[in-house]
Structure 1
Amino acid sequence: MTGPGSWDGRGTAGLAPAAPRPWPPATLPAKRSKVELIKENSNFLRFPLREELETEAPNINESAVQLIKFHGSYQQADRDVRSGKAYQFMLRTKQPAGIVTNQLYKVMDDLADEFGSGTLRLTTRQTFQLHGVLKHNLKTVMSTIIKNMGSTLGACGDVNRNVLAPAAPFKNRKDYLYAVEAADKLAALLAPQAGSYYDLWVDGEKVMSAEPPDVTQARNDNSHGTNFEGSPEPIYGTQFLPRKFKIAVTVPSDNSVDILTNDIGVVTIVNEADELQGYNIYVGGGMGRTHRIETSFPRLAEPLGYVSKDDLLHAVKAIVATQRDYGRRDDRRQARMKYLVHDWGIDKFRSVVESYYGKQFETFQTLPPWKFESYLGWHEQGDGKLFFGVHVDNGRIKGDAKKTLREIIESYQLSVRLTPNQNLILCDIRPSWKSRITKTLAQVGLLAPRHIDSLNLTSMACPALPLCPLAIAEAERGIPSILKRIRAMFDKVGLKEADSMVVRVTGCPNGCARPYMAELGLVGDGANSYQIWLGGTANQTRLAQTFMEKVKIQDFERVLEPLFYLWKARRTSEESFGDFTMRMVLLIQMPGIVAE
């Protein structure tokens, strides 16, 4: 049944698809989540956010809280403050491939000091997070970012998030350049179009560069029923997507982007002459889950197929339309695309996507093994200049390190790239500057990787307490001492510096730091309590498995030390901790472990 105000299965009222499809979505479900109704009645993300921003209250109401996410902000409260709610806002930027101009970096650094908490945070999706912004300063901060060629649009909310690509600024590697170009175009294709972002934050002024013609053409193409004809949001409609959506682009073998954890993974394929041929596409990855809900789980993406170089935008749009129309609208826990792929199976999912795409996918191309690349330390760019990957503990830039980074970036007019591992790359460095920059960074503890504990180099943690409302345990504030304790355990059992592993810690099961891919993942499941996940790989290609639950932080040595003894005593030559635990330890009942 369709008509004014009714549900037509396409996520908006009274707008029929332009072309029939063989699997029409169900009509109005018996129950839709509260967020669905908020989106539908928001006038494309405007109401009641605009009205709430104009009140004197330090916070906004629940409907506005849901809408401001699409604009790139979360309302938070400092949970360390016990007397009342200390409301503030977190802003997240959006820049494909983590590319940050010299101007934008300086602006973000200034905003952190003037309107934020005095720190910048680098995220696992190559963006900045600015914490501590008060409501009455939101418009000033947002408009400043926009007018300096930055953006927060779509950094949160039920839309495509920041598109990842390898952060290495290689100028002589066409495959890397193709990956960045694809990330840029996919981000532009799937950005919200209705204009509320510019209406609210810069009074309707559209401060943006022209998009490539092929992006405009792909967005407007409705030959296979992917669009809402005549809508300000041709792809998203009034309901937008059922949940958040994540895309990463990379080149064969480079898994610096955790490719298999994304809703869509794209791999550039070039020929022997470095000419772009097409793209492999993965679908169905995702990390989020809920404790004690067996129907929620982390999942790796799987191959969907291959498309030619001219078809990527249309293929990705078809995948997004499939998730939009068939993803769960009644239960947000089940609304990510990974559950749709899991429930249908890859063959049915491919068939439905092909009905929107208008073509069949070609055979997935053979790829070499994946390798994790951190790009820390000094590297050649390929144009006579260098880049330096700076390790930033848990992505938090603060204090003297923040001041020194700003001085270097400003003095040498450097551009910056953010990595998916919470680090930062200084680009376009002349060889003659290398020694001075190295020395200056070292003076504030920003050392070359050979001087940093190997456990720290690959670890990650989410912000968690005190600001994230979902956190139930420490992560960013807790991981420094956790890594020191692990190193002490290594020393006690006789493991060497080279015997490292990937450690990731999150304060809740949503998995923002991707703990389910770690060799040792710690997932908050109570106050000072964690689930322990074991068995991931250093190249991020295998899911870890739950080993123990409700392990108090003071009991880590009792639980982990026997595992490290076993690893040292029973591993095969060069066997990693993740491979060892997947092979052996998960088969052993914990009470029966004997340290040898």
Structure 2
Amino acid sequence: MSSVAASEVKRSKVEQIKEQSHFLRDPLLEELAEDTTHFSEAAVQVLKFHGTYQQDDRDTRQQRRQEGRERDYSMMLRTRIPGGHVPPQLYLTLDRLADQYGNGTLRATTRQTFQLHGILKKNLKATLASILHQMGSTLAACGDVNRNVMAPVAPYKNRPAYRYAQEYARKLADLLAPKTSAYYEIWVDGEPIPIPPVDEDVLVAQEFVGHGVRLEGPEPLYGPVYLPRKFKTAITVAGENTVDVYSQDLGLIVLTDRKGSLKGFNIVVGGGMGRTHGKEETEPLLAQKLCFAPPESVHQICQAILAVQRDHGNRSDRKQARLKYLVRKWGIRKFRRVVEEYVGEKLQRFRPLPKFVPNSDDYLGWHEQGDGRWFLGISIENGRIQDSPTRQLKTALRRITEAFSLPLRVTPTQDVLLIDIEDRQRDLINQILKSHGVLSKEEIPQLVRLAMACPALPTCGLAITESERALPGLIRQLDRLLQELELQDSPFLVRMTGCPNGCARPYLAELGLVGSTPEHYQVWLGASPEGDRLAQVFQERVHIDQIVPLMRSLLQLYKRERYPQEAFGDYCHRVGIPYLQAQIPQTV
């Protein structure tokens, strides 16, 4: 059970770069000191583990090439904030850095983190150092490691399951984080900085060796080559699925007794959204039921699951390297058996769960916390926090945070919550938001509030076509269509991505739009509003201008044939894709 067992087969180029990086140092450390605008490909791969992607402006790429100039390079920096919880001083720091070094915007992501865009290479170290000095981190926000751990954001003080979800999100984030000292050596020159204390349960869990779970060396959980591919973890509570737990490599569901005491966790494994057009061996997959873990065993089991992926995941083909493909190849029974070998004991059976309930607004608007305080959910279209001539959202959030020192939480749907609000502060907060043109929940159509898009063009190097820049106009056309058809009381979940990698989780949307060629999208239909059923391909290639006419035909059919209270995704699933294809001509 060695982490380098994969050396017996031909390894991908990225595997070799990781092994030669000296635990995430080389060649990044040397190139950072060079007076250049960008990093080499090897340094870029290492840089990801530090929470940064190198990008260039694809809107200007061709023109700059024609003029004999190099690409317009910049860095996208992503934070690691378990459960989406952001202390006020860290948020104010990110807000300032966006203006000082970035493109003036912050972006809330679908994994409950913030991204800074447009940072030049020469300003990268100063940006990261500022975040670290506010007890923030970007370590493992990207790369072949466990990434930001997601959790439900509602700060209910009278519902213990939500508190356990946030608490264990932080514990798992610390437990599964890389241990290399390179991060602090590079970005703050190894100087002492304030670091949150490590939970006692995590310290105990780090002593667990099991049967090959932990290795010798600076990275006892990851080894010198880390994981074969990225690893995504989320934790939720029974009945709620805002985190899309079945889309994760590792998903945990909190179970409590009637008094609210923690019973343990149901664990699912092997979910993932990414796929590649034209390669049928790649596909989105839902996580499968693995086991129930009591609180005293959950950390050992999670480490063992990661170690199984470390040792047995595909290191020769990165398109087959996610945990989901190992689970698919082995089957869940064999995977469970191997995890038991690593843990050293038999796993308990998965326990019955209540059905997930759709959350129609993801906690937008005003809500009581259960302790006399309030939280406020603010809708952020596609997660982009910025100022415009009509709406100064970025300024409003900064002024509220400065005035009231409120923590924020980033939701899994790219919105934010302001939490721990005193009753006397509500009117002042409402006034600030209104004076800056920030719309309330009631002023935004539900179809718009529910929709999500990835950044795509102009910065993402994988994007085939538009997403964030295209969805606002399209979603409002769809909303007008609902009004016209008198279906305004039946909104559905729309998600758009500029490529098939699925960062906005389109395969779990009732209408998923996946970039296939410039200005064209693959159309997916029929996912469950509860997030426990995948959509299926309806049409392979639809021009963006034909999406609304196509949806008109589909929604007219839905209106005539739906059952009472039947959601659009449930209708599409019930009648089936072949039936819908027979009723509606292919659109090109």
Where on the TM-score scale, by shorter chain, does this alignment land: which range?
Answer: over 0.9
How far did 1:362 drift? 0.9
Q: Equivalent of 1:210, from 183, 191, 197?
A: 197
Equivalent residue, structure 2, for 1:281: 267
Mapped to 2, the partners of 1:466 and 1:28 lie a distance apart of 37
How far did 1:313 drift? 0.6
**Quick check: 569-578 or 445-454, which moved more?**
445-454
Mapped to 2, the partners of 1:219 and 1:199 lie a distance apart of 23
Equivalent residue, structure 1, for 2:364: 376
Mapped to 2, the partners of 1:445 and 1:544 lie a distance apart of 36
The one-character-per-residue Cα deviations of 1:158-198 (angstroms, maximum 9, x if unpaired) are 00000001111112222111111111111001111011100
- Other structure's SS at 1:525 match: strand
Mapped to 2, the partners of 1:557 and 1:164 lie a distance apart of 33
Assess, with a 3 A threshold, how the Cα gap between structure 1 residues 318 and 418 changes in structure 2: closer, same or farther. Answer: same
Equivalent residue, structure 2, for 1:408: 400
Mapped to 2, the partners of 1:475 and 1:310 lie a distance apart of 43
Check whether the contact 2:79–2:141 (CA below 8 A) recurs between aligned residues.
yes
Mapped to 2, the partners of 1:371 and 1:486 lie a distance apart of 24
Aligned counterparts, 1:276-425, within 5 A: 276-373=262-359, 374-399=362-387, 400-425=392-417
Query: Percent identity at matched positions?
Result: 48
Asked if residue 72 in structure 1 is aligned to residue 51 in structure 2, the reply is yes
Q: Equivalent of 2:29, from 46, 50, 63?
A: 50
Q: Give the letter aligned to residue 96 of structure 1.
A: P
- Other structure's SS at 2:227 match: coil
Q: Give the letter aligned to residue 567 of structure 1.
A: Y
Q: Equivalent of 2:439, from 406, 423, 447?
A: 447
**Gaps (5+ residues) in structure 1?**
1-8, 13-25
Check whether the contact 2:466–2:498 (CA below 8 A) recurs between aligned residues.
yes
Equivalent residue, structure 1, for 2:67: none
How far did 1:592 drift? 4.2
Mapped to 2, the partners of 1:305 and 1:269 lie a distance apart of 13
Check whether the contact 1:318–1:357 (CA below 8 A) recurs between aligned residues.
yes
Q: Equivalent of 1:489, from 465, 481, 486?
A: 481
The one-character-per-residue Cα deviations of 1:14-41 (angstroms, maximum 9, x if unpaired) are xxxxxxxxxxxx5633311000000001
Mapped to 2, the partners of 1:479 and 1:560 lie a distance apart of 15
Equivalent residue, structure 1, for 2:430: 438
Equivalent residue, structure 2, for 1:526: 517
How many corresponding residue pairs?
A: 572
Check whether the contact 2:6–2:312 (CA below 8 A) recurs between aligned residues.
no
How far did 1:589 drift? 5.9
Mapped to 1, the partners of 2:192 and 2:455 lie a distance apart of 32
Q: Give the letter aligned to residue 413 of structure 1.
A: S
The one-character-per-residue Cα deviations of 1:204-261 (angstroms, maximum 9, x if unpaired) are 13532221232122223213221112x0000001010000001111111111111110
Check whether the contact 1:392–1:446 (CA below 8 A) recurs between aligned residues.
no
Asked if residue 160 in structure 1 is aligned to residue 152 in structure 2, the reply is no
Q: Which runs of 4+ in 1 moved over 4 A?
A: none
Q: Give the letter aligned to residue 562 of structure 2.
A: R
Mapped to 1, the partners of 2:238 and 2:583 lie a distance apart of 43
- Other structure's SS at 2:266 match: strand
- Other structure's SS at 1:513 match: coil
TM-score of the pair, normalised by structure 1: 0.94
Equivalent residue, structure 1, for 2:456: 464
Asked if residue 222 in structure 1 is aligned to residue 209 in structure 2, the reply is yes
Check whether the contact 1:220–1:234 (CA below 8 A) recurs between aligned residues.
no
CA RMSD in angstroms comes to 1.5
The one-character-per-residue Cα deviations of 1:343-392 (angstroms, maximum 9, x if unpaired) are 11100000000111111111111111112330111111111110000000
Equivalent residue, structure 2, for 1:111: 97
Check whether the contact 1:518–1:538 (CA below 8 A) recurs between aligned residues.
yes
Equivalent residue, structure 2, for 1:37: 16
The one-character-per-residue Cα deviations of 1:404-452 (angstroms, maximum 9, x if unpaired) are 1110111111111111110000011111222232232134343332221
Equivalent residue, structure 2, for 1:261: 247
Mapped to 1, the partners of 2:136 and 2:541 lie a distance apart of 42
Equivalent residue, structure 2, for 1:183: 169
Equivalent residue, structure 1, for 2:231: 245
Mapped to 2, the partners of 1:122 and 1:456 lie a distance apart of 16
Asked if residue 582 in structure 1 is aligned to residue 570 in structure 2, the reply is no
- Other structure's SS at 2:512 match: strand
Mapped to 1, the partners of 2:421 and 2:128 lie a distance apart of 30
Mapped to 1, the partners of 2:555 and 2:6 lie a distance apart of 54
The one-character-per-residue Cα deviations of 1:1-20 (angstroms, maximum 9, x if unpaired) are xxxxxxxx6234xxxxxxxx
Asked if residue 504 in structure 1 is aligned to residue 469 in structure 2, the reply is no
Check whether the contact 2:82–2:150 (CA below 8 A) recurs between aligned residues.
yes
**Gaps (5+ residues) in structure 2?**
65-69
Check whether the contact 1:495–1:568 (CA below 8 A) recurs between aligned residues.
no
- Other structure's SS at 1:588 match: helix
Assess, with a 3 A threshold, how the Cα gap between structure 1 residues 312 and 592 changes in structure 2: closer, same or farther. Answer: closer
Check whether the contact 2:161–2:256 (CA below 8 A) recurs between aligned residues.
yes
TM-score of the pair, normalised by structure 2: 0.95
